Amino acid sequence: MTFDKIVVELTRKCNMNPLCGHCFRGEPQDFTIDNESIDSLLKQTEIIGSLSFTGGEPTLAVDKMQYFLEQLYEQAIPLFRFSIVFNGLLYNEEIVQVFKDYSDFVKMCCGVIDKEIDVTKRVIISISIDKYHNHRDIAERNIERYKKALKGYAQVVKYAKGNIVRKEGNACSLACADNDWDFKDAVNKRVEILDIHHKPRCPQYKTYRLIKPEQIKICCDMYLSAKGNLLTFAIGDHGYYAVDYEKCIICNVNDSDIYESIIQYNEGKTDCISLLKRKTLELRSNRIKSLFSSLNYYLHIDEDDSDEVENDIPMGAISDEELAFEIAPYPNLLDKMIKDAESFNYNTFD
């Protein structure tokens, strides 16, 4: 299978002391992904468009980063983008070297297509220094150290999305936390697939292509938990209560065929465009809610003062939230989008 993007939770351990009161994950857990789960994922993988590591604190599991890369080499699985978000409390040569190694691998894979590739626009090292973090002074010093050490290898940026506090995990009691996540939608949303038997009903459908008849492309961003469970990133990017919720789990990669599990998981679930249409109709029918949502959305955008990330290719995609606001006055356009997605020619091998 080809994963357009997969996020891997390396560990649930954390080295923040005291713990962050705004952490949406919840309390840390003494749990780290095992090599078997990495092997099981990669044995069913042909290509990874984008790989991201998360936690917990992912730099507490550098050995797992190294093992994952070793397996990419051993199984000849190309990788075209790499990213990680971590708290910046640790700085050492082992961490620097593993980032350089991933950069070298991405550059090698991309070099098959473009020898002049600027790898720093495809390898993004993000250090979280939002206003709620403890020990920000250490992280800010280490940002400069990482920038110097990784010059020419990666883009090192400040990450401050944590300024937008979500009412989950440790942040449930914070008055400033926002509870705008529709858990029901996330659970009922299907995984969009592109192969000779399936076409994605996804707002970003024009960005997907098949390069050979037997290719299977997983269009949705996916998430592999430290327990080896596969789920969508829409659920994985939340507290452990959601990540471990049985109804959210597609399969455990150690004992399942991922493709067949996704097909089974999708039964009775709703495609992305239909969910988006429902949201736009809700916004249209409730103008007060629409206005509140718009204000809330743009106020949150202002809270996020992360560094801008330079990207070398136009993604041709916007978030579902942005699209919902833009298309709210014209929900019937989504019916046309469904038809267009079904008739679009995804093949590049004809």
Handedness of CA 324, 326, 331, 335 (dihedral sign): negative
pLDDT of residue 28: 93
Nearest to residue 264, comparing CAs of 301, 230, 304, 240? 230
Structure tokens at 161: 């999305």
Tell me the domain boundaries of the chain: 1-180+221-254+286-317
Q: Which of 25, 100, 14 is nearest to 58 (CA)?
A: 14
* C-alpha to C-alpha distance for 18 and 309, rounded to whole angstroms: 30
d(CA 328, CA 228): 38
Q: What is the dihedral of CA 31, 35, 36, 41, to 10 degrees?
A: 100
pLDDT at residue 229, rounded to an integer: 98
The three state secondary structure string of 135-200 is CHHHHHHHHHHHHHHCCCCCEEEEECHHHCCECCHHHHHCCCCECCCCHHHHHHECCCEECCCCCC
Is residue 252 within 8 A of residue 228, CB to CB? The reply is yes
Q: Which residue has the tokens 């890369």?
A: 69
Structure tokens at 156: 């090192």
- Block means of pLDDT (10 residues each) for the chain, 350 residues, are 97 87 88 98 97 96 98 97 96 98 96 86 93 86 97 94 79 73 84 95 90 94 98 93 94 97 96 84 62 51 62 54 59 80 86
pTM: 0.90
Contact 183, 196 (CB under 8 A): no
Q: If you search the block for the tokens 């995804």, which residue do you land on? A: 346
